[in-house]
Amino acid sequence: MAEDQPKPVGPDLGQGIALAQLPDGGKLVGHVGDDEVLLVRRGAEIFAVAAHCTHYHGPLVDGLVVGDNVRCPWHHACFDLRTGEALRAPALSPLACWTVEQQSGKIFVREKRAEKETTVRVGRSGTVPEKIVIIGGGAAGFAAAERLRRVDYQRSITMLSDDDAPPVDRPNLSKDYLAGTAPEDWVPLRPDSYYPDNAIDLRLKAHVASIDPRAREVALADGSKIPFDRLLLATGAEPVRLSIPGADQPHVHTLRSLGDCRAIIARAQTARRVVVLGASFIGLECAAALRTRGIEAHVVAPEKRPMERIMGPQMGDFIRTLHEEHGVIFHLEDTASAIDGKWVKLKSGAELEADLVIVGVGVRPRTQLAEAAGLSVDRGVVVNAYLETSAPDIFAAGDIARWPDPHSGESIRVEHWVVAERQGQTAALNMLGQREKFTSVPFFWSQHYDVPINYVGHAENWDDIAIDGDIPAKDCVLRFNRKGRTLAVASIYRDLESLEAELAMENVSA
Ligand SMILES: Cc1cc2nc3c(=O)[nH]c(=O)nc-3n(C[C@H](O)[C@H](O)[C@H](O)COP(=O)(O)OP(=O)(O)OC[C@H]3O[C@@H](n4cnc5c(N)ncnc54)[C@H](O)[C@@H]3O)c2cc1C
Ligand code: FES
């Protein structure tokens, strides 16, 4: 993501620093020329890598070093300090690395090392599939294709997406891009040239109509058929649409794709007042983004507190107050009954004027293809720990997948960007015959104005919430506990604790 590079900070590492300035286990940021470089010391070894995460430029010096890896404080990407390799999404590009020398009690950072074309290679045991087909051009589908090429898979990859845009950074669509504070070139996950350059046959506006698991082929809506040796289902989720009168009018929008977002932005050019139906993450992020554009925002939702079911009452109250401080007007414990021209009618009898309506009442996993193909479906496509569906050589990842989460001990399905990407990456390796279990601790983030909320783990219910810090002061950690175990941790500006909680959860299985 493009960003103005700040002036290099810290000591000039080319000139060298005293070894004593970097104690064992320590981290330090300096510069070499215009590049900011992170130095990490582990015993006698010293690593020098780019100081900022390749996802959204998070400061790795504030992250967590675990073994030979560093984890980003913002959205928990993980990098190999030896090679710079992006080991875990959401970062997909490696960090630059520098050569380090030690002389006479000083550390010198020398030349930048050439990026290795491929730093991970998978074993070639078993048969390498000739044709891999991915249905879905979103988080999971893209991360799978990217991982396949990164591990040097050289055969055919076909990616089918019924969207008209190549894979995009979907979380941005309800945040900076919608707010008008991020340029459009932040939105694609890769430039258009990436796909031909990497021999990924990305077919847009290609709606898959059916899958034949026995014949091992998928049929497109235009009647054409595409054979596969391995298939990844990554069809994501679609917004739930309201069936109330007037919900089909042109000023009523849902938000999933870049096209949806562009349509909202076009309407926002002249809109004075938006009514957001639903106090979900996406609904509230949209309200925040449109407030940034100076549009009056009303949020209508049936619950007593926004996001209470996921974040608990204390965080729910905070989120409400935060939005109210920015001018959002809530109409809680109420729902829309009709959209009549420029008026949204509520069950309570109230009427709200709106020239833009955004429906954010949740999403439904796109499981129709899997169901019709006879795959096991239970509120999501059922997969095992290897992300295999009930049909041989067909895998599923992302918002559609219900997988056995070893941490909660439950079969869960979540709608998180990072989980979708990491599942895509694991599925990619398993399609090549690896047997890698998907064991990542679920993680998501949400951004409201200048307040990021990070959430690690998974708690559908809890006995108590232990609060450390001060929620209104935007400095807190909330631990969701059940039967004496912490199942999930939500935090605001306590990034290190969020990373430490993730690490602790990795080491505990239900
Ligand atoms: C506006 C917005 C903001 C979000 N913000 C956050 C956030 O801040 N943090 C977070 O953790 N998560 C966030 N999410 C959720 C996150 O984006 C999803 O969890 C993630 O995109 C899921 O990835 P996926 O690959 O499963 O599905 P998707 O990314 O939805 O991709 C599915 C793909 O499948 C294609 N497809 C579906 N059916 C067919 C078919 N029959 N034929 C061909 N193609 C098909 C679709 O066109 C699409 O390309 C946000 C979501 C939205 C919409
Ligand atoms: S900025 Fe590092 S993971 Fe997002």
Mean pLDDT of the chain: 95
pLDDT, mean of residues 386-406: 98
Ligand 1 binding pocket includes 416 (Cβ within 6 Å): yes
pLDDT at 127: 75
pLDDT at 6: 61
Ligand 1 binding pocket includes 398 (Cβ within 6 Å): yes
pLDDT at 231: 98
Q: Among candidates 198, 230, 233, which has minimal Cα distance to 430? A: 230
Residue 108 has pLDDT above 60, yes or no: yes
Ligand 1 binding pocket includes 282 (Cβ within 6 Å): yes
Of the CA atoms within 13 Å of residue 403, those in its CB half-sphere come to 31
Ligand 1 binding pocket includes 174 (Cβ within 6 Å): yes
Residue 368 has pLDDT above 90, yes or no: yes
Place of tokens 């810290």: 10
Residue 2 has pLDDT above 50, yes or no: no
pLDDT, mean of residues 168-185: 95
User: What is the 8-class DSSP label of residue 416?
Assistant: -
The tens digit of pLDDT for each residue in 451-504 reads 999 999 999 999 999 999 999 999 999 999 999 999 999 999 999 999 999 999
pLDDT at 72: 98
What is the whole-number distance in angstroms between the Cα of residue 417 and the centre of ligand 2?
12
Residue 183 has pLDDT above 50, yes or no: yes
Nearest CA, atom 4, ligand 2 = 75
Ligand 2 binding pocket includes 234 (Cβ within 6 Å): no
Residue 123 has pLDDT above 60, yes or no: no
- SS3 of 410, please? strand
By the 10 Å C-beta count (0-12 exposed, 13-18 middle, 19+ buried), 437 is classed as: middle
Confidence of residue 114 (pLDDT cuts 50, 70, 90): confident
Ligand 2 binding pocket includes 73 (Cβ within 6 Å): no
What is the whole-number distance in angstroms between the Cα of residue 401 and the centre of ligand 2?
24
pLDDT at 5: 57
Residue 401 has pLDDT above 70, yes or no: yes
* Nearest atom, ligand 1, residue 257 CA: 53
Of the CA atoms within 13 Å of residue 312, those in its CB half-sphere come to 21
pTM score of the predicted model: 0.96
The tens digit of pLDDT for each residue in 45-57 reads 999 999 999 999 9
Burial readout 367-406 (b: 16 or more C-beta within 10 A, e: otherwise): bebbeebebebeebbbbebbbbbbbeebbbbbbbbbbbbb
276 beta partners: 299, 358
Ligand 2 binding pocket includes 455 (Cβ within 6 Å): no
In angstroms, the first-to-last Cα distance of the chain is 38
Best residue for ligand 1 mutational test, from 170, 218, 255, 451 (most atoms within 8 Å of Cβ): 170
pLDDT at 1: 43
